[in-house]
């Protein structure tokens, strides 16, 4: 029986190798643009490509797009990643009402052009931290000309930048942005203009509509109970209204892009969102998604992570109900500890990568840079920063079916992926980072006969890939792939 199966596999491999479909199969890591979604039996909704395969997108935030170089973008792609999250600033792009900075727009086009060239997708993040530059946010966020603080006080805390959100002036500024008709109109016009400007880039995945939304909190904004109540009211009311306006604004110029909504940052403390569902006015199926962040407050404040605190479990419980109820794919827009070199934080990275594999269609870590500490994913030598090794492990970029499990053992560079086969007939594809397999990789398949494995081995300075076809497997067949060093 084994000889018959082997012969069948060889005949089928020869036939496929000579077929037009096989000849046209692209190599490399360029991800297909997601054209739809699928919902698995466990209720998770995933992004899918034109063949119905589940897509997994992984990559990094680019903190300041104007300082990003072509070498940075090329390096992200060479490490086998597929996604950039690009933080853009309303302040920089529209420094005066209706006056756009052509040089800033050209820099953004240049960056997306590099993403086009190196086969990456890009998510444009409309970024703000503590509203905008009026409150010490540098040149990011909402412009000074769109800031109304009612003359209320703002006293920054040099040891806790996030505490600025609780200042009366910042609370007032958010209230005016949500409520004032002229500011609503100005914001919508800005989004339409940017969407009109950027449409047509091959790399453009879509838009993260508002980074880490915040707003007025009745009562004591520093009290956790008042924060939770205020966030719930904001998400159900003012923030939901903003997202409806911004969805319409982008759709006025672009009906191809994906649009992602964010909850407030309290989701990181295990507080489920109270956002409602949203309608997408584009023709055809909606292209809406959910983009929460994944930060532990104590770690952000400088602590080493305590595994006994239940943070990962609480987060998973908090973020899964909303996308399941509204059938939304999930992209984790930001995550990562400020120092992965500490033992607790290194364990946090490992657990976060494993958790995101089960609850999302992908993620972008904060952020892509070289450095001896901080959030930089790379050390000064350009290699993965100590503690961030799980980020640079193998992973599936496209799955013909639904995932069951995955496991990475760093000590032996062994990766196992389990899934149940689908109906697309397309290959399951894996990224094989050079950091994990500097001498190449072996890929074995268990659970089905006649598996056809095509490996593009990693090499110096570039990731490899594996394509796995299962021509004799019936839909729903459990399959396990194991990757080991060659």
Identify the pLDDT of residue 306.
96
What's the rounded mean pLDDT across residues 259-275?
Answer: 95
For the residues of 330-379, what is the DSSP string, one character each?
A: B-B--B--S-TTSHHHHHHHHHHHHHHHHH-SEEEES---B-SSTT-SB-
- With b meaning 16 or more CB within 10 Å and e meaning fewer, what string describes 413-451? bbbbbbbbbbebebbbbbbbbbbbbeeebebebebbbbb
What's the rounded mean pLDDT across residues 80-90?
Answer: 97
Closest CA to 366 of 303, 295, 266, 280: 295
Condensed to tens digits (0 to 9), the pLDDT of residues 11-43 reads 333 333 333 333 333 344 678 999 999 998 889
In the 3-class helix/strand/coil scheme, how is 19-38 assigned residue by residue?
CHHHHHCCCCCCCCCCCEEE
Between CA 385 and CA 367 the distance in angstroms is 12
Q: Which domains does the chain have, with CATH numbers?
A: 1-19+27-41+396-486 (2.60.40.1180), 56-392 (3.20.20.80)
| Residue 425 CA neighbour count, 13 Å, CB half | 4
Is the per-residue pLDDT at 236 higher than 70? yes
Identify the pLDDT of residue 9.
34
Between CA 201 and CA 197 the distance in angstroms is 10
Identify the pLDDT of residue 220.
87
Between CA 211 and CA 227 the distance in angstroms is 18
pTM as predicted = 0.93
Please give the C-alpha separations between residue 329 and each of 36, 75, 123, 242, 364, in angstroms, as whole numbers: 10, 27, 14, 21, 14
Three-state DSSP at 282 gives coil
Condensed to tens digits (0 to 9), the pLDDT of residues 328-356 reads 999 999 999 999 999 999 999 999 999 99
Condensed to tens digits (0 to 9), the pLDDT of residues 419-455 reads 999 988 789 999 999 999 999 999 999 998 889 999 9
Identify the pLDDT of residue 17.
33
Condensed to tens digits (0 to 9), the pLDDT of residues 282-327 reads 999 999 999 999 999 999 999 999 999 999 999 999 999 999 999 9
Closest CA to 276 of 344, 322, 331: 322
Identify the pLDDT of residue 25.
34
Q: What is the mean pLDDT of the chain?
A: 91
Strand (E) or helix (H) holding 468: strand 464-469
């Amino acid at each position: 029986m084994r000889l018959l199966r082997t012969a069948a596999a060889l005949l089928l491999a020869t036939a496929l190798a000579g077929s037009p479909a096989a000849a046209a199969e692209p190599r490399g890591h360029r991800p297909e643009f997601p054209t739809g979604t699928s919902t698995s039996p466990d209720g998770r909704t995933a992004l899918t490509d034109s063949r119905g395969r589940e897509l997994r997108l992984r990559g990094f935030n680019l903190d300041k797009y104007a300082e990003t170089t072509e070498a940075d973008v090329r390096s992200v792609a060479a490490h086998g990643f597929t996604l950039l999250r690009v933080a853009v600033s309303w302040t920089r792009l529209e420094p005066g009402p209706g006056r756009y900075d052509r040089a800033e727009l050209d820099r953004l086009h240049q960056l997306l052009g590099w993403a086009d060239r190196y086969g990456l997708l890009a998510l444009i993040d409309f970024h703000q931290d503590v509203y905008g530059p009026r409150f010490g946010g540098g040149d990011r966020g909402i412009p000074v000309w769109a800031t109304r603080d009612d003359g209320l006080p703002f006293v920054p805390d040099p040891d806790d930048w996030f505490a600025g959100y609780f200042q009366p002036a910042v609370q007032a500024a958010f209230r005016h942005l949500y409520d004032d008709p002229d500011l609503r109109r100005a914001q919508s016009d800005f989004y339409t203009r940017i969407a009109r400007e950027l449409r047509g880039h091959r790399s453009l995945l879509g838009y993260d509509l508002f980074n880490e939304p915040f707003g007025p909190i009745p009562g004591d904004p520093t009290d956790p109970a008042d924060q939770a109540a205020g966030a719930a009211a904001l998400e159900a009311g003012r923030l939901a209204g903003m997202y409806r306006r911004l969805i319409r604004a982008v759709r006025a110029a672009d009906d191809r892009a994906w649009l992602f909504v964010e909850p407030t940052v309290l989701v990181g403390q295990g507080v489920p969102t109270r956002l409602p569902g949203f309608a997408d006015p584009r023709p055809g199926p909606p292209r809406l998604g959910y983009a929460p962040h994944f930060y532990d407050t104590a770690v952000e404040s400088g602590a080493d992570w305590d595994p006994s605190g239940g943070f990962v479990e609480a987060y998973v419980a908090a973020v899964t109900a909303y996308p399941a109820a509204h059938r939304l794919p999930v992209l984790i827009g930001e995550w990562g500890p400020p120092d992965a070199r500490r033992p607790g934080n290194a364990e946090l990275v490992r657990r976060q990568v494993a958790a995101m594999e089960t609850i999302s269609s992908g993620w972008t870590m904060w952020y892509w840079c070289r450095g001896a500490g901080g959030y930089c994913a790379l050390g000064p030598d350009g290699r993965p920063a100590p503690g961030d090794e799980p980020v640079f492990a193998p992973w599936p970029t496209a799955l013909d079916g639904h995932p069951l499990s995955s496991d990475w053992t760093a000590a032996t560079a062994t990766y196992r992926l389990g899934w149940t086969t689908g109906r697309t007939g397309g290959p399951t594809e894996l990224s094989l980072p050079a950091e994990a397999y500097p001498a190449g990789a072996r890929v074995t398949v268990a659970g089905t006969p006649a598996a056809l494995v095509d490996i593009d081995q990693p090499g110096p300075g570039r990731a490899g890939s594996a394509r796995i076809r299962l021509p004799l497997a019936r839909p729903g067949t459990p399959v396990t792939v194991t990757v080991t060093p060659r």
